[in-house]
Amino acid sequence: MIAYLSLYQLKPEVTLEKLETMMAQTRVLLLRIPEVLAVKTGKRINPADPYPWFVYVEVETMDKLTICLDDPYYFKFREEVLKPNIAEQESTAFEMEPRKDVKYS
């Protein structure tokens, strides 16, 4: 099982109301991708934390993550939610199965 976590820094003009809309749009778009098992998104609690927003996507394998990232709904998410509102992004994938060799993910 793969967890794909993205942390985002927002552009200065993004308001709290806009962030709420982005969170809802993210769920709607990414849950339409057949390979996606779960989507979680949230905003920071501590204002001192460097990233005010995150998106977590869960898929079965790295192959399915690749398919997910090439899906038209993911492209729409990038174009409509990320590009107009994101200043910086950090993303990484994690294997969530204990004792599973990551080279077989």
Mean pLDDT of 29-37: 98
**Residue written as token pair 């969530």:** 96
Pair of tokens at residue 37: 């098992």
Say how far apart CA 89 and CA 50 lie, in whole Å. 11
pLDDT digit string, tens, across residues 39-89:
999 999 999 999 999 999 999 999 999 999 999 999 999 999 999 999 999
The pTM (predicted TM-score) of the whole model is 0.89
Residue 100 has pLDDT above 70, yes or no: no
- Please report, rounded to a whole number, the percentage of residues in the chain having pLDDT higher than 70: 94
Say how far apart CA 60 and CA 54 lie, in whole Å. 20
- Does CATH place domain 2-98 in 3.40.190.10? no
Helix (H) or strand (E) holding 54: strand 53-59
Average confidence score pLDDT of the chain: 94
Say how far apart CA 17 and CA 20 lie, in whole Å. 5
Classified as helix, coil or strand, 8 is: strand
| Complete edge-to-edge strand list for the sheet that includes strand 53-59 | 38-43, 53-59, 2-10, 86-95
Q: What pLDDT, on the 0 to 100 scale, is given for residue 36?
A: 98
